[in-house]
Every structure is written in structure tokens, then in C-alpha cells.
Amino acid sequence: MEKLLNEFSIGLFVWQTILFVLLLLLLRKFAWKPILNAVNDREDGIKNALAAAEEAKKEMQNISADSEKLLKEARGEREAMLKEAREIKDKIVSDSKEQAKIEGDKMIKQAQATIESEKKAAIADIKNQVAELSVEIAEKVLKEQLSNKEKQLQLVEKMLGDLKLN
């Protein structure tokens, strides 16, 4: 202890204190503040950048989820539309088939009716012709039968014979 006290130099102590405090104050103002601020700023910058990146990543995920959803919706919509179109097509086809059938039937019926009436007309015509022909034949037959006197007398006799009978 005595050696320590003997070694202690008040002058050196004073110089050391003055110089060190001076150094401390100067460095605080001109070195440590700017250095620590720079380091802090940089660290904050890195922290912010990381947070922003995280945020962006999240946003990207949201966006991709959104687009996924949209895609799904679109796909669904397409599916629905296709289905509807198919239905419409089927309906149109079946409708037109029916229509055609009805139309066909109608035409067939008409044709049948026409045929029927034509047939009737033809039959009527044939009947007339048959009648005319028969009359003509009868005329010819009569003309032939009544061409000589004998025969005419025979006929008159026959007819008179018939009348008597009546």
C-alpha cells in the first residue's frame, strides 16, 4: 500500500483525468454519435427492408391466392356455360326433331287426305266414264239390235208382251 501511494503521481493523475475527459467529450461528439447513429440507421434499414420483404411476400401470396380463386371461378363459370350450351343444344335438337315430326305427320296427313280425295275424284270419274261407256255400248247394242225390221217388230212384240203381263 505504501509502495502504491509512493508510486501515485498527482501530476499524472491530473493529466490523465483532463486528457481522458477531453478525449471522451470530443469522441462523443465527433465519433461515437455519428458511428452509433450510422450503425443504428443501417440496422433499422435492414430491419425495415426485411419487414418490407416479408410484407411483399405476404402480398404475393395473397395475390396468388386471389388469382387462384379467380381462376377457379372462371373455370367454374366456363363449366357452367358449357353445360348450359349443351343443354340448349340438346333442347334445340329435340325441339326441332319434334317439330319436324309434327310437320312430317301433318304433311303425311295432308298427302293422305289429298290421295283420298284424288282417289274419290278418280273413282267418280271412272264411274262417269263407265256410265257413259255403258250408255254408248247400250246405244251401239240397241242400234245394232234395231237395225232391221224384223228385229224391231220382235222388240215391239216383246215389249207389248211385257206390258200385257203388267
Partner 1 sequence: MSFMRIPYFTKFVFFVHLLFVGLISGQETEHDAYEGPKDKRTEIKEHIQHHLQDSHDFSLYSYTNEAGEPIYIGAPLPVILWDNGLRVFSSSKFNHGDTVAEVDGNYYKLYHDKIYKTDTSGAIDHDEKGHPTNRKPLDFSITKSVVMIVITCLMMFWLFTSLARSYAKNGSIPKGLGRFFEPIVIYIRDDIARPNIGEKKYRKYMPYLLTIFFFIWFLNMFGLTPLGVNVTGNIAVTVALALLTFLLTNFTGTKDYWKHLVDPLGKTMPWYGKLPIYIILVPIELLGLFIKPFALLIRLYANMQAGHIVLMSLIGLMFIFKSWLGSPLSFGLAFAISLIEILVAVLQAYIFTMLSALYFGFAAEEHEHESEPELMHV
Of residues 38 and 153, the one with the C-beta less far from partner 1: 38
Cα–Cα distance list, 152 to 141, 142, 143, 149, 158 (Å): 13, 10, 10, 5, 10
Of residues 14 and 102, the one with the C-beta less far from partner 1: 14
Of residues 16 and 62, the one with the C-beta less far from partner 1: 16
Instruction: Name the residues that contact partner 1, by CB under 8 A.
Output: 4, 7-17, 19-24, 26-28, 30-36, 38-39, 41-42, 45
Of residues 4 and 165, the one with the C-beta less far from partner 1: 4
Handedness of CA 81, 83, 85, 88 (dihedral sign): negative
CA distance 6 to 8: 5
Q: Nearest approach, Cβ of 50 to partner 1 (angstroms)? A: 16
DSSP tally for the chain: helices H, then strands E: 4, 0
Query: For residue 147, what is the DSSP state?
Result: S
CA distance 1 to 44: 51
In which residue are the cell numbers 427492408 written? 49
